[in-house]
Amino acid sequence: MTQQLRDTLQLLRKRINKVDWQVLKALERRKKIVIEIGRVKEKLWLDLYQGKRKHEMLLHKQKMAQNLHLESGFIKELREKIHDWSLGIQHQKSK
C-alpha cells in the first residue's frame, strides 16, 4: 500500500510539473503580447500606465476567479504582480 501511495504521489507531481510548465509558457506568450501593446501605446502617444484599464481588468479577472472557485485574495495579489511585471516590461522596451 505504501509503495502504491508513493507511485501515486510521483504521478501527481509529474502532472503538477506539466501544469507549471504550461503556466510558464503562457507567461512567455503574454510577455510577447505585452511588448506589442507597449509599442502600440507609444505610437498612439498613450501613457504606458492605464489606470482605468487596470481597474477594469482586475475586476474582470476577479469575477473569472470566483467562477473557478479560486481564492480572491490570492488572485488579486497575483494579478497585481502580473500587471506590475507587464508594465515593467513595457517601460524597459520603451527606453
- Tens of pLDDT, residue by residue over 59-69, are 999 999 999 99
24 vs 1, higher pLDDT: 24
Does residue 58 carry a pLDDT above 70? yes
- The pTM (predicted TM-score) of the whole model is 0.85
Scan for cell 503574454, then name that residue.
Answer: 30
One of 3.40.50.9100, 1.10.1330.10, 1.20.59.10, 2.40.10.170 is the CATH number of 2-94, namely 1.20.59.10
Distance CA 1, CA 66 (A): 38
Contact between residue 85 and residue 78 where contact means Cβ atoms under 8 Å apart: no
Cα(17)–Cα(90) distance, integer angstroms: 29
Nearest to 78 by CA among 60, 64, 61: 61
Judge whether residue 95 has pLDDT over 70.
no
Average pLDDT along the chain: 94
